[in-house]
Amino acid sequence: MARQEQLPLFEPPSVTAPVAPGPAEEALARLDVPAAGDDPPADSLDAELAAITDLAALEAAARDCRRCGLRAGCRGVVFGEGNPRARLMLVGEGPGATEDELGRPFVGKAGELLDRILAAAGFAREEVYINNVVMCRPPGNRVPAEAEMAACLPWLRARVRIIRPGVIVCLGATAARALIHPQARITQLRGRWHERGGIFVMPTYHPAALLRDPSKKRPVWEDFQQVRDLVRRLAAERAQAASEGR
């Protein structure tokens, strides 16, 4: 694929102070959503999925995925759910026991907390899109292996391509490592904006981390306030452009 220039870390336009470059300035290199006219990514699955243009067809194809060993040890694929035209996408780590049983992402205790966080920030669950780095539950809810994440990334890239969200929130270290940098540390990256191909990315703590450590609730709320403000600004800009016929 034709490589796009790596974009540095930045703050939203309302903040004038520059941000010093850090180790994660290779923002979203692994997400790498192709622009129009670009060659398809190197992974053969990316090329196959490029012909799929709607989420229902993509989900149907994902049900048969056996690219890694996780599928053999779980009930089924947990694809994702939400608004197919969502301006905000949330990416977590992988399904847990409740998610595997019900076939839906973020429906356990962490999911209940995420719903409350979204509501506090002014988002209904139905208006965003929620999914994970891997679609199948790792045994014992362990962290997905690098090879497992790599096997599932084409499905995530395809969802991003079809939905085209304006903003992505990485919920936790695994999502940040999958989408931003393999050595990403959530404690260093959270609260700072990243951009790739016109998509703004905010890493923050996973809701499960807040259940273990309530002191993380305030930082997550601050991060979601930034997310809320940016989503609103982007919506206002789109509405203005539409009214001006642009």
Pairwise CA distance, residues 92 & 63, whole Å: 19
Q: Is the pLDDT of residue 85 over 70?
A: yes
pLDDT at 68 over 50: yes
More confident call, 237 vs 20: 237
Task: Please give the model's pTM, rounded to 2 decimal places.
Answer: 0.83
CA 5/CA 29 separation, integer angstroms: 9
pLDDT in tens, 35-57: 333 444 557 899 999 999 999 99
pLDDT tens-place string over residues 169-181: 999 999 999 988 8
pLDDT at residue 42 in the model: 54
Closest listed residue to residue 228, CA positions, set 139, 114, 131, 118 = 118
Q: CA distances (Å), 219 to each of 5, 36, 123, 155, 203, in order? A: 31, 37, 18, 30, 11
pLDDT at 205 over 50: yes
243 confidence band (pLDDT: 50, 70, 90): confident
Which one-letter amino acid corresponds to residue 2? A
CATH number attached to the domain at 45-243:
3.40.470.10
158 to each of 58, 152, 155, 163, how far by Cα in Å? Answer: 8, 10, 5, 9
* 3-class secondary-structure state, position 106: coil
